[in-house]
């Protein structure tokens, strides 16, 4: 065994070739605490770290979520109210966040500047291991009693208000009840984010005890990625954090949900707006508990099967659900969940009547039964295999590549499997391809879905009076509480302390503790991508050559400034329809299957950008077409893309109507979680011509 890191306090458990990523994995354990570290050593300057703790909830109080907020409100060595807000002013980070999951809490950050990476790790590490956890931070981030302008008692708190918003979203409630329905005997039955009805039950003492119990090195998994010096990082982890603790036996393992003998049915409600139509606004989901997510081949098989059934407009189950007329479109609840200890597969319909539950169950069971009886189209299976391989191989994404690897590693690592098992995909894919023959996936459908008795059907319906009842119940409780207060001054004193906490500026001495980048920390050599450029007719083209793990990308920009505003309003629908309709002689489902077979994805986006005055000023309006595909499929992918550009068939009015409903529902479902985006777009539209176009395309007018 490699013992190069013993002097930093770590033993090496394994060194793993990760050829898929042109990288190497190093698995380590801290000798005195048992904290585990996994470093993906890669030739990538975007370095990332993530502190992860298993944090299984035992109630709906939302303590994991509140703690995720509160640990970032000052720590032992950085005793500022919000050290990260200060840190941001002098950081070159590419990612900085914290996330609460149903079974874990993760604190990741990334930067392309090594000194910045170290600074961020020091502040984050101090926050999670040595937070101040002041009562004022608990009351600010979690919940508290307060008075409104009329002197009436109210409840307030950042997480409390956030979760009230979440519990008024149909999609959020449907997703929450999917887990509750399948995992009644597991920590997954509790909402780690917090149920607004139960968040006020969390005491300050229980809040601190949760941190004491779970935020310990013996319960920590620390993921590292990039080209940083591992010895330096391990020395910091050991010297500044881990060596201050001793090993502890922490019971945080996520238990397996025991299997049922019979399917179950559940009903739930979400608070719709009084006066809105409620007749066809329900969501119905069928949900199955599958195998463990710690088995890489089982995960890969489930991912491929999910793509076969629901991955695109040509997938048989998705097409049958949409064509059935039972509802408007597929719910976002649909698909495969692999981030839990046991996987979950769901097929869900939104915009439906709750009385169609039995019809929906019969439809889904019938489609799956026919697929087993008649067999799956071999091209459909091959397209799914290629798509899943593409997603596993792709480097580029909306977040740092290290984040994507972290999520994969934690799939098994969180449940005591070596992290490298969940990272590798070439070998499991080869094993799976060698097994795929006629009847392979049909057998999985039969065993894991049709014969699986651990199934729930959940109906989530709108209730226009639900929010009123909730508000009235809370008002009665608070009025009774206010009347029974022996000494209201106690609450006033507490609120005065909170005001002082929030209003008192950080001292210059405390501010000076936050590490900032200096000019000497910045790299002198900036990586410049090689660029070729040329012209084909009137078209300018640019080409960058870099390592993309076998994936090619194409971006095509189309000038749309000549369209009048009335047509511009319909551009989001046009962009979606362009890649989701048929071709002459081919239905939209056939085109969708071809796209799945030959591309990684094909999609459109719109952009409005101000033009520099030296270039004429004004606003540039463009539609971008984004294509990505594996190298070996590039010619086929490009040919199919050009056919859609030149010959897309919009004559199928039913298909266009379905796409319009999907688009409208996507916009509406974004209102609650992203209401601030709609508000900021509308506000900015009054001050910026470019923003006015974005408001037209993506703002409230589209609702």
Neighbour count for residue 197 (Cβ, 10 Å) = 14
Which string of b and e fits 146-159 if b means at least 16 CB within 10 Å?
Answer: beeeeeebebbbeb
Question: Rounded CA gap, 72 and 283, in Å?
Answer: 37
Tell which residue, 26, 137, 17, 164, has the closest CA to residue 73: 137
Q: How far apart are CA 104 and CA 406, in angstroms?
A: 13
Find the catalytic residue in 36, 41, 46, 68. 68
d(CA 291, CA 341): 9
Catalytic, 68? Answer: yes
Please give the DSSP secondary-structure letter assigned to residue 217: G
State residue 406 phi and psi, 5-degree precision. Answer: -60, -45
Tokens of 533: 């450029």
* Residues 214/252, Cβ–Cβ less than 8 Å: yes
Residue 594, classed as helix, strand or coil, is helix
What whole-number distance in Å separates Cα of residue 597 and Cα of residue 580? 15
Query: Is there a catalytic annotation at residue 46?
Result: no
Distance CA 648, CA 491 (A): 66
Of 36, 46, 139, 141, the catalytic one is 141
Can you list the pairs that 446-450 forms with residues at least 24 positions away whose Cβ atoms lie under 8 Å?
A: 446/372, 448/288, 448/290, 448/291, 448/302, 448/305, 448/345, 449/288, 449/345, 449/368, 450/365, 450/368, 450/369, 450/372
Burial of residue 32, with CB atoms counted within 10 A of its CB: 0-12 exposed, 13-18 middle, 19 or more buried: middle
Are the C-beta atoms of 413 and 224 separated by less than 8 Å?
Answer: no
Sign, CA dihedral 356-360-363-365, equals: negative
Give, for 470, the enclosing helix (H) or strand (E). helix 466-484
How far from 695 is each of 53, 279, 367, 563, 603, CA to CA, in Å? 40, 30, 41, 16, 20
Pairing of strands 47-54, 220-226: antiparallel
- The four Cα atoms 401, 23, 106, 391 give a dihedral, to 10 degrees, of 40
Give the H/E segment covering residue 380.
helix 378-393
216-232 core/surface letters (b: 16 or more CB in 10 A; e: else): bbbbbbbbbbbebebee
Nearest CA-CA partner of 104 in 128, 138, 120: 128
Catalytic residues: 68, 141
């Amino acid at each position: 065994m490699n013992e190069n890191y013993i002097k930093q306090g770590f033993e090496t458990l394994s060194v793993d070739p990760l050829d898929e990523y042109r990288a190497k994995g190093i698995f380590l354990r801290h000798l005195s605490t048992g904290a585990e570290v996994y470093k993906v050593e890669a030739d990538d300057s975007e370095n990332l770290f993530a502190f992860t703790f298993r944090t299984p909830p035992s109630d709906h109080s939302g303590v994991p979520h509140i703690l995720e907020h509160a640990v970032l409100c000052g720590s032992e060595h950085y005793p500022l109210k919000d050290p990260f807000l200060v840190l941001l002013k002098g950081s070159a980070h590419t990612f900085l966040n914290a996330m609460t999951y149903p079974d874990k809490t993760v604190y990741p950050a990334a930067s392309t500047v090594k000194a910045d990476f170290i600074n961020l790790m020091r502040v984050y590490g101090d926050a999670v291991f040595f937070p101040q956890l002041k009562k004022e931070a608990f009351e600010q981030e979690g919940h508290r009693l307060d008075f409104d302008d009329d002197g009436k008692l109210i409840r307030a708190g950042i997480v409390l208000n956030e979760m009230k918003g979440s519990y008024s979203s149909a999609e959020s409630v449907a997703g929450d009840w999917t887990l509750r329905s399948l995992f009644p005997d597991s920590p997954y039955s509790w909402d780690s984010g917090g149920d607004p009805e139960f968040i006020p039950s969390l005491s300050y003492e229980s809040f601190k005890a949760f941190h004491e119990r779970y935020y310990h090195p013996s319960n920590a998994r620390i993921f590292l990625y990039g080209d940083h010096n591992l010895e330096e990082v391990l020395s910091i982890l050991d010297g500044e954090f881990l060596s201050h603790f001793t090993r502890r036996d922490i019971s945080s393992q996520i238990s397996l949900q025991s299997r049922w003998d019979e399917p179950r049915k559940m009903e739930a409600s979400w608070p719709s707006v009084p006066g809105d139509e409620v007749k066809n606004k329900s969501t119905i989901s069928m949900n199955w508990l599958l195998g463990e997510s710690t088995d890489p081949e089982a995960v890969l098989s489930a991912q491929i099967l999910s793509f076969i059934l629901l991955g695109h407009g040509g997938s048989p189950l998705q097409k049958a659900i949409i064509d059935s007329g039972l509802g408007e479109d597929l719910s976002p609840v649909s698909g495969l969940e692999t981030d839990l200890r046991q996987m979950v597969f769901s097929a869900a319909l939104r915009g439906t009547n709750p009385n169609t539950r039995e019809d929906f169950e019969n439809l889904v069971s019938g489609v799956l039964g026919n697929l087993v009886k008649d067999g799956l189209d071999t091209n459909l299976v091959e397209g799914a295999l290629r798509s899943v391989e593409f997603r596993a191989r792709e480097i580029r994404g909306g977040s740092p590549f290290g984040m994507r690897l972290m999520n994969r590693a934690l799939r098994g690592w969180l449940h005591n499997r070596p992290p490298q098992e969940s990272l590798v995909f070439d070998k499991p894919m080869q094993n799976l391809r060698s097994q795929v023959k006629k009847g392979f996936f049909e057998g999985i459908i039969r065993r894991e879905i049709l014969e699986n008795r651990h199934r729930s059907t959940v109906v989530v319906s709108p209730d226009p009076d639900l929010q009123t009842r909730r508000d009235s119940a809370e008002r009665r409780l608070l009025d009774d509480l206010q009347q029974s207060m022996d000494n209201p001054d106690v609450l006033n004193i507490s609120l005065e302390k909170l005001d002082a906490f929030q209003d008192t500026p950080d001292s210059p001495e405390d501010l000076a503790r936050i590490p900032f980048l200096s000019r000497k920390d910045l790299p002198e050599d900036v990586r410049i991508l090689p660029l070729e450029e040329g012209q084909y007719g009137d078209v300018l083209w640019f080409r960058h050559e870099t390592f993309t793990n076998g994936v090619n990308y194409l971006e095509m920009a189309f000038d749309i400034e000549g369209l009048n505003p009335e047509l511009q309003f319909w551009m989001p629908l046009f962009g979606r329809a362009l890649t989701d309709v048929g071709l002459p002689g081919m239905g939209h489902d056939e085109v969708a299957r071809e796209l799945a077979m030959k591309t990684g994805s094909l999609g459109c986006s719109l952009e409005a950008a101000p033009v520099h005055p030296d270039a004429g000023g004004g606003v540039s309006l463009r539609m971008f077409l984004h294509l990505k595909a594996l190298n070996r499929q590039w010619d086929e992918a490009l040919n199919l893309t050009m056919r859609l550009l030149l010959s897309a068939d919009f004559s199928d009015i039913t298909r266009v109507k379905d796409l319009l409903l999907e688009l409208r529902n996507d916009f509406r479902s974004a209102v609650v979680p992203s209401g601030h985006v709609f508000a900021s777009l509308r506000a900015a539209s009054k001050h910026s011509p470019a923003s006015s176009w974005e408001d037209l395309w993506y703002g409230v007018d589209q609702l």
